[in-house]
A = this chain, B = another copy of it.
Amino acid sequence: MSSRQDVPRAAAQRLSLYLRQLQGYQRAGRSTVSSHELAGGLRLTDAQVRRDLAYFGQFGLPGVGYKVDRLIASLRRILGTDRGWSTAIVGVGNLGSALARYRGFEEQGFRVAALFDSDPRRVGQVAGGMAIRPMGELAETVRREAVRLGIITVPAEHAQEVADRLVAAGVRGILNFAPASVAVPASVALCSVDLALQLEQLSFLVLDAQRERRRGGTSPGVPPEVSGDGRETEAD
């Protein structure tokens, strides 16, 4: 569990999907689940589920499956959501203020501890029950509130500059929503979400399926799979 070998990045990403699925089973009152069931809803194979989990330890019982509660607890520990993480949102426009109010974050153990904006007209206003602070207070607030993750929701042209300031202030990870690529030191983790990019992938997939149909082929140009976070399922 602690002295792990190399974990494929893709496997690490699927851990979150397993957790979400398990939380659903938990709400449904299930106490046990098999790798086959867990895989089903996510369009994965049972072997992949077992393999992914095996990178981190032995969680199942042969002949029985996985205890839902226990596996949730284990995954939360692995992912780090068993502890509280304080975050700060920089850029309180449309998206920033929506994220400030988003309930899904605290459900998973994340707390939005502070909001920042460079626009003096926004500073002092309230979003999600919090006052918006000026950028000048970033470093001090990050320290005082023990903020470890920064969320960037500023226009693309300011993303790098904001990332630099967050890094200088000492955050350990950055979630970037600006449609720009951002560079950070290797010691800081970075995830990016480009919302328009998701729609682009969608239109690509739609067109691709169309082209496919036109060609009358059965084998698709792009396997109809994963995109975004990889959560995808089909029926019918």
What is the distance, in angstroms, from A138's C-beta to the closest C-beta of chain B? Answer: 18
Do A94 and B85 touch across chains, with their CB atoms under 8 A apart? no
- Tell me the chain A residues, 198-236 only, with Cβ under 8 Å from chain B: 198-209, 211, 215, 219, 221-236
Partner of A13, one of B80, B221, B227: B227
A180–B234 alpha-carbon span in the complex (Å): 13
The tally of residues in A whose CB lies under 8 Å from a CB in B reads: 94
Query: A143 interface residue, CB < 8 Å from B?
Result: no
Do A203 and B79 touch across chains, with their CB atoms under 8 A apart? yes
Stretch at the interface among A57-65, A101-109, A117-125: A101-109
Query: Chain A at the B interface: mostly helix, strand, loop or mixed?
Result: mixed
A199–B9 alpha-carbon span in the complex (Å): 15
Query: A95 interface residue, CB < 8 Å from B?
Result: yes
Do B235 and A184 touch across chains, with their CB atoms under 8 A apart? yes
Do A186 and B79 touch across chains, with their CB atoms under 8 A apart? no
Partner of A203, one of B20, B149, B233: B149
Q: Which residues of B contact A183 (CB under 8 A)?
A: 233-236
Binding site for B on A (CB under 8 A): 2-9, 12-13, 15-17, 19-21, 24, 41-42, 78-81, 85, 87, 94-95, 97-99, 101-102, 104-105, 107-108, 110, 148-149, 156, 172-176, 179-187, 189-209, 211, 215, 219, 221-236
